Structure 1
Amino acid sequence: MQNNKLRMAIRATAAMAALGMAGQASAISFETGGWETSIYGYARLNASYDIDEQHTNSAQTASFSDINVGDEEDDEVSGHFDADAVQTRLGIQTMTPEGVKMVVEGDFRGNGGGDLRLRHAYGEYEGVLAGQTWSNFNSFVGNTSTLDFDSLPGLAGLQGRTAQLRYTTGPFSVSVEEPSSSVASVTTPTTGANAGNLVLDDQAGSKDGMPTFTARFQDSNGGLSYSAAALVHQVEYDTGTDDDSAIGFGAFVAGKIAITDMVSIQGSFNYSDGANSYLWRSGEDYYGYDAYVTPGGDVETLKGYSGSIGTGIKLGNGNSINVGYGMTTMDVDDIGDDYTGNESIAETNSAIMANYQFTPVKNVMMGVEFQHLKTEDANGDDGDSNRLLFAAQYNF
């Protein structure tokens, strides 16, 4: 049975390769009145084969929240194929004669996939950036290349974009950003599927009363690239009758070293106390709660940490092999101490991703990736899954 599933996946890879070699794209750049403008992006097909249960998000990325745990792993339905092109991207960048840079970029991953989604929209002049782009509490220095658009748990920082005002001078940058915070209420239902379980939900009256403040240092020296960043923000709730708040903070370090011209090792480490909204692939899937409300109405911050490590091996002619491991975990023991119930709360997510990427012609990337994912709840229930991912990307 398992061999048949793998043979089907291999046939799908071969079919995608044949389709991929049939298309090409070229860059579009022009100058008008001293304005230098380029249109860029790519068309991309992603396809996945879930060897075990189906746990696929848009762009065929892996979903930790859909992995069966405990008794749910018994008699699970296995073998699922899916594909989409929602990762396809289009952007425009222009530079004025005065040196003002402007970027607008989108893809089609909005509303679960298929709708246009704004990725970047910002202007930048003499180190001052205003608009939406990658959070300053973010770095790609330690990332291992994966075909999965959402990649490994434990990468550095938010791994997302946010509205901000940023100032950069040399390798140092600071920003004031749109806040991202979450406070959980804790209940123990007496009926239904979650009867007897501790259930986290958004606390009524959760609010953002101040922006997030970040600082980052990122530089390189020879074959070494490195980055470190920190943030502070407020987590709070106010129902009109009850309220409380706390300060959360987070930090990360990331680095990459070129062992040879062909081989690199890279990785990252993150720590959070009340800033799990910036801890990549924590909680149920993407970001965990920053804090929870105790039975006495106080805001109690939740700690978390994560890390990733990987290697990239260049084979020449645009071909490469990449292997990475990432893990994210949250300390939710205090919730179990304050509330009575089965601690079926997502605690740890981890993944191994290994891929082969190749370039059949210029501006075309194709690849196949194997993934092994695991998730574990605070009560010890865990589950794992295996999947294959295929990609064909045409850049312009």
Structure 2
Amino acid sequence: MTINVKTTSRSSGYASKIMLPLACLGLSTAAQALELDVGDSEVSIYGFAQLDAAYTDGPDMYAASGFTPFFDIRPRDVEGSDGDFDMGAYTSRIGLLSATPTKNGPIRVVIEGDFHENGGPGFRLRHAYGEWNGILAGQTWTNFSGFVGLTKTIDFTGPVGRPNPGRLAQIRYTLNGFSAALEDPDGFSVGEGILSGTSGVNQSRVPNFTLRYTQSVDAFTYEFGGLGREVGYEVSNEDDYAFGWGINASASYRFGTGIKLRGAVAHGDGIGGYLFFNPGGAGYVKADGKVETIKATSATTGISIPAGTGAFNLSYAMVQADMDDTAELNPAPPNIYGYDRYDSVFLNYIWSPIEPISYGIEVGHHRAEQPSGESNDITRLQGMVRYTF
């Protein structure tokens, strides 16, 4: 076996395809990568080192974890700390991708991780999958939604109020912009599960089924997604299940001046964590032991305006769950203050003085509301430095 080592640009080819979601959510990823020829396979090692720093005018909220601080927003009548500053490098990332030619098409493999386990610094698997002739198997972004309608943020988790492009174990088939997948029904940790006063566990007997179609017409790109799933629980000798569903639509348009508009909407009943930071769960258990699914709706919109060596990005996002019938549950909904709606506004400037280096500054304003209409908000100032290889 022969191993040849060289450096090459990731600005084209399969590596560019893999790194595109990083560019959509944050910063430039075009840089020199370490590339090895291992037998017939072309292997690239990529990643970045990143420092995050943030000040939040409320309770402890760690920049290293990157979580949008909705769980830390207190109602106005609850006392707490007045502010917190934090720095961390846990979003730094390393990955490996390979392409091996065969007479029936290339086999592509991606393995990627960061140091964000439980907010850091434990190593966490992000992607681990293989792909051949349109068949993908492993863990990667859910097939329910992509990145078409998302505006760049420095906040690691990005805007709420969007179809969640989180990473799930799955098997997927893709052909001409259309894809279908069977996905892990228990893969999301936020906005998921059954709300119940019992000690039962969430349970699904079948995988989630997702569909997606993505297409571009000149400067216009659009995407549609659908979800079908089972929502259920089991405790002692008691269990029950219900059907959940979700739909989403996203679009973006780039003007000749470089200005780009984006937007996405989603809705579902029992959709759970497929809506990012859904303040409710997928469903709850009624007094008679039956599962009732929870409706939720989300929306996000944004604009990117080129300026100098970077761009200004302004975006708004919201997500709301129908929690009217869950007020008497014990424990309460999966946030300590029983919120049913979150709103966010982000304004940032992200720029690259030279290709492998990116800087960013951002202000984010976040609001949480209870079913009664009581609300409070929090503001976060954040900065970032990224060195890409």
Aligned match of 1:30:
36
Determine the C-alpha separation between the residues in 2 that align with 1:340 and 1:35. 55
Determine the C-alpha separation between the residues in 2 that align with 1:139 and 1:298. 33
Determine the C-alpha separation between the residues in 2 that align with 1:135 and 1:125. 18
Aligned match of 2:69:
63
- By how many angstroms is 1:271 displaced? 0.3
Alpha-carbon spacing, 1:217–1:384, altered in 2? closer, same or farther (3 Å): same
SS state at 1:323 partner: strand
> In the TM superposition, what whole-angstrom CA distance separates every residue of 1:324-363 from its partner, at most 9, and x where no partner exists?
0000000111224x76999952100111000011112221
Q: Contact 1:45–1:391 at 8 Å: present in 2 too?
A: yes
- By how many angstroms is 1:225 displaced? 0.8
Aligned match of 1:221:
217
Q: Contact 1:332–1:347 at 8 Å: present in 2 too?
A: yes
Give the alignment's TM-score, normalised by structure 1.
0.84
Q: What residue ranges of structure 1 are gaps of 5+ in the alignment?
A: 1-24, 187-201
Aligned match of 1:163:
169
- By how many angstroms is 1:378 displaced? 1.4
Q: Write the mapping of 1:1-396 to structure 2, written as runs, cut at 5 A.
A: 26-56=32-62, 58-72=64-78, 76-98=80-102, 99-156=106-163, 158-180=164-186, 182-186=193-197, 204-283=200-279, 288-317=280-309, 319-336=310-327, 345-396=338-389
Determine the C-alpha separation between the residues in 2 that align with 1:313 and 1:78. 34
Opposite residue 60 of structure 1, the aligned amino acid is G
Q: Contact 2:50–2:385 at 8 Å: present in 1 too?
A: yes
Determine the C-alpha separation between the residues in 1 that align with 2:236 and 2:256. 60
Alpha-carbon spacing, 1:169–1:203, altered in 2? closer, same or farther (3 Å): farther
Alpha-carbon spacing, 1:293–1:393, altered in 2? closer, same or farther (3 Å): same
Determine the C-alpha separation between the residues in 2 that align with 1:303 and 1:89. 35
> In the TM superposition, what whole-angstrom CA distance separates every residue of 1:113-172 from its partner, at most 9, and x where no partner exists?
10110001111000000111111012100000000110111122x221011000000100
- By how many angstroms is 1:259 displaced? 2.7
- By how many angstroms is 1:26 displaced? 3.8
Q: Contact 2:34–2:46 at 8 Å: present in 1 too?
A: yes
- By how many angstroms is 1:256 displaced? 0.4
Q: Contact 1:130–1:166 at 8 Å: present in 2 too?
A: yes
Determine the C-alpha separation between the residues in 2 that align with 1:175 and 1:340. 35
Q: Contact 1:203–1:237 at 8 Å: present in 2 too?
A: no
Opposite residue 235 of structure 1, the aligned amino acid is V
Q: Contact 1:55–1:64 at 8 Å: present in 2 too?
A: no
Opposite residue 151 of structure 1, the aligned amino acid is G
163-172 or 205-214, larger mean C-alpha shift: 205-214
Q: Contact 1:55–1:67 at 8 Å: present in 2 too?
A: no
Opposite residue 252 of structure 1, the aligned amino acid is N
SS state at 1:59 partner: coil
Aligned match of 1:11:
none
Larger Rg: 1
CA RMSD of aligned residues (A): 2.1
SS state at 2:110 partner: strand
Aligned length: 349
Q: Contact 2:148–2:223 at 8 Å: present in 1 too?
A: yes
- By how many angstroms is 1:266 displaced? 0.3
Q: Contact 2:245–2:268 at 8 Å: present in 1 too?
A: yes
Determine the C-alpha separation between the residues in 1 that align with 2:117 and 2:54. 19
Q: Contact 2:195–2:331 at 8 Å: present in 1 too?
A: no
Opposite residue 319 of structure 2, the aligned amino acid is T
- By how many angstroms is 1:80 displaced? 1.7
> In the TM superposition, what whole-angstrom CA distance separates every residue of 1:250-302 from its partner, at most 9, and x where no partner exists?
1110110113332111010010101122110111xxxx311111111111111
Alpha-carbon spacing, 1:163–1:123, altered in 2? closer, same or farther (3 Å): same
Determine the C-alpha separation between the residues in 2 that align with 1:103 and 1:349. 34
Equivalent pairs: percent with the same residue? 34
Q: Contact 1:39–1:90 at 8 Å: present in 2 too?
A: yes
